[in-house]
Amino acid sequence: MPDPAPGTVTRRAERRAATVAEIKSHARQQLATEGTGGLSLRGIARSMRMSPAALFRYFDNQTALVTALCVDAYDALNDAITEAQANADPDPTAQWRTLCLATRHWSLNHPADFALINGTPIPGFEARPEDTGPAAGRLLTLVSSGYLAAIASGAADPSATQVPPLTAGPLLKSLLATDSLPDTPIPGIILNGWASILGFIAAEVFGSLTSLIADPDALFDAHLRTVMQGMGFSQ
């Protein structure tokens, strides 16, 4: 038989990709029903009528599988934000609001994926920055560029905040792929604001916030306005 034409996908590659996707699907179902501590490669293999040894042909160990799920979660969130911003008002203030609203919407609809990248860690798992860093860095770039665009347009004023000049840590420099981040309030403003948004969402995903108040949408809108005021947005 002639070799496949360059750029075409072989049937073997298609079958492998389909099996990898099925493994991930079963893993996400486990995470959704059993929590981050309930992920079991043996359970996945049993559900797929495979031997555990056969599953290891696709993922060397649980760490490799969880890492792939984390990257997928970051990519999905990045795509959700990008799509929402493409359909929103281009004004920088509206774009920042859209970013936060899209993050909340995605997280509430994908709580297991949110938990993977923001929640309770899986026992024994520690993501390596070189594996998850590029996808996490894209998210942080979306967050950072949105605030920088607001500053450039005059929609946000860092000097109006209470955040002092801070030195960026090695992880932030790695995620943003730069060694030169000046000591200014801006990195601290971005991280402080983003952590506050994620904290509210975590209270909805993991906590009892939705049982404590009848209208969490209205509360989030108020929280977002408060966060933006703290970041120096004129609104």
Q: Is the domain of 75 the same as that of 43?
A: no
Work out how many domains the chain is built from and give that number: 2
Rounded CA-CA distance 48/190 in Å is: 43
pLDDT in tens, 148-178: 899 999 999 999 998 888 777 777 766 666 6
Looking at the domain assignment, is residue 47 inside a domain?
A: yes
pTM: 0.86
Residues 184 and 155 in one domain: yes
The answer as to whether 223 is a domain residue is yes
Mean of per-residue pLDDT scores for the chain: 88
Whether residue 156 lies inside any domain: the answer is yes
Domain boundary among 41, 59, 77: 59
- Residue by residue, DSSP assigns 17-62 as HHHHHHHHHHHHHHHHHH-GGG--HHHHHHHTT--HHHHTTT-SSH
- Per-residue pLDDT tens for 195-219? 999 999 999 998 889 889 999 999 9
Same domain, 19 and 123: no
Same domain for 52 and 79, yes or no, is: no
| Containing structural domain, residue 29 | 1-59
Secondary structure of residue 176 in the 3-state scheme:
coil
Is 235 a domain residue? no
For the chain, the C-alpha Rg in angstroms (whole number) is 21
Say if residue 141 is in the same domain as residue 198: yes
User: For residues 38 and 98, is the Cβ–Cβ distance under 8 A?
Assistant: no
CATH of the domain at 80: 1.10.357.10
- Which amino acid type is present at position 105? H
> CA-to-CA distance for 96 and 108, rounded, in angstroms?
19
Residue 1: the pLDDT is 42
Give percent above pLDDT 70 in the chain: 90
Residue 166: inside a domain: yes
At 70-126, the pLDDT tens digits run: 999 999 999 999 999 999 999 999 999 999 999 999 999 999 899 889 876 677 777
Same domain membership, residue 219 and residue 132: yes
* Range list of H helices, the chain: 11-34, 41-47, 52-55, 62-86, 92-109, 111-118, 129-153, 170-175, 185-205, 209-212, 216-230
One domain for residues 79 and 192? yes
What's the CATH number where 55 sits? 1.10.10
Q: Are residues 92 and 186 in the same domain?
A: yes
Same domain, 1 and 104: no
